[in-house]
Amino acid sequence: MTPYRESRALSPPLPEERGAISASVRKALGEGTAVTLPSEPVAAADPFGDDLQLALYVLYELHYQGFEGVDDRREWDPDLLRLRRRLEDRFLGAVREAAPGGDDVEEALADLLVEPLGDDPTSMTHFLQREGTHEQLREYAALRSPYHLKEADPHAWVLPRLHGRAKAGMVAVEFDEFGAGHPESIHARLFADLMADLQLDTRYGHYVDATPAEALASVNLMSTLGLHRALRGALVGHFAVVEVTSSPGSRRLARAMRRTGAGAAAERFYDEHVEADAVHEQVVRREVVAGLLADEPHLEPDVAFGVRATVLVEDRLAARLLPAWRAGRSALRRPLPS
């Protein structure tokens, strides 16, 4: 295992291509050339599939850590942005079609606010708490690392687009996520410590090639919503789901880490979220969501869509992982080194 170092110290290499779209993006960035891609591959691509999701992930990463050897100015390359818009339209269109529902936010959140009395067979965290192996916890951490090693960053995009109660509440929650002034307590750093306990490589982007499309879609949804002012309501809905479900889910994962002897840092990451996110849930619902809708009531359908979209992508990820784990197989595109 690579010795620990700050996960964001260096930009990662470009990931391997997974089809015509991601190959075109990789070639343009790797060679410093214009992206050339006819419309047919995008129109025919599976909106939830590996090729489109990886291409979208790579284009979004230009706004975060960038890539080794890629000129930072490509972040605002007009051709890349035009391609990104086509991919976003394909992805969001499919999400809207697969996650229909009403425009009432409380109704959209209702099921998430009630913990099941027994075991939920469709839940990743219930499975890991009850019977997940050490290796399955390692896989879960690896495929979540593209998000958790930049935790809170996608949601920070919405801050300049909020005001009043919503902005104050959002900043309060983000302040905690970013360590409340203590760099060693930044949640992304705590997750890197968790990965080290699980004998995983802590470098940013290291496990993208092993990460299935369903997990990339979960990360991409945050960036899609965060990078567009027009989708600020949906980003708030997404954030509400994250905070509402985080505390009970983290409690289950903390128990799984203890049961398997994962290590003190692995336990600490989820223990921290049990306590912090129980408070964050109330702030998000009472200040961020309620504050936004008090100022901009026309955004309620967007907030409700953000809730439904988040539930959809997480359900799709669970449907990918759980059958593999129950069958004793790796859920990753390639198994982790022992």
338 occurs within a structural domain:
no
Give me the residue label for tokens 């953000």: 306
CA nearest to 46, candidates 27, 28, 26, 19: 19
For the record, the structure tokens of 282 come out as 């109330």
pLDDT of residue 36: 86
Domain that includes residue 253, residue range: 105-326
Quote the CA–CA distance of 46 and 87 in Å, as a whole number.
10
CA nearest to 42, candidates 2, 106, 88, 78: 88
For the record, the structure tokens of 182 come out as 């203590």
Task: Write down which residue in 65, 98, 131 finishes a domain.
Answer: 98
- Do residues 109 and 94 share a domain? no
285 occurs within a structural domain:
yes
The CA-based diameter of the chain, rounded to the nearest angstrom, is 56
pLDDT of residue 3: 46
- The amino acid present at 305, given as its one-letter code, is F
82 occurs within a structural domain:
yes
pLDDT of residue 23: 96
CATH code of the domain covering residue 236: 1.20.910.10
CA nearest to 223, candidates 157, 306, 318, 303: 157
pLDDT of residue 147: 96
10 occurs within a structural domain:
no
pLDDT of residue 7: 77
The rounded average pLDDT for each run of 10 residues, N- to C-terminus, in the chain (338 residues) is 64 97 97 90 95 98 97 97 96 96 93 77 94 97 97 95 97 94 93 96 97 98 98 97 92 96 95 84 94 97 97 97 97 93
Task: Write down which residue in 83, 98, 113 finishes a domain.
Answer: 98
pLDDT of residue 118: 67
- Do residues 202 and 79 share a domain? no
CA nearest to 183, candidates 6, 12, 10, 61: 6
- Do residues 113 and 251 share a domain? yes
* CA-to-CA dists, residue 121 to 144, 315, 330, angstroms: 20, 12, 19
Quote the CA–CA distance of 44 and 56 in Å, as a whole number.
15
- Do residues 162 and 45 share a domain? no
- Do residues 58 and 159 share a domain? no
335 occurs within a structural domain:
no
pLDDT of residue 117: 60
Number of domains in the chain: 2
25 occurs within a structural domain:
yes
- Do residues 229 and 314 share a domain? yes
Task: Write down which residue in 75, 98, 121 finishes a domain.
Answer: 98
Q: How far is CA 195 from the centre of its chain?
A: 17
- Do residues 62 and 137 share a domain? no
255 occurs within a structural domain:
yes
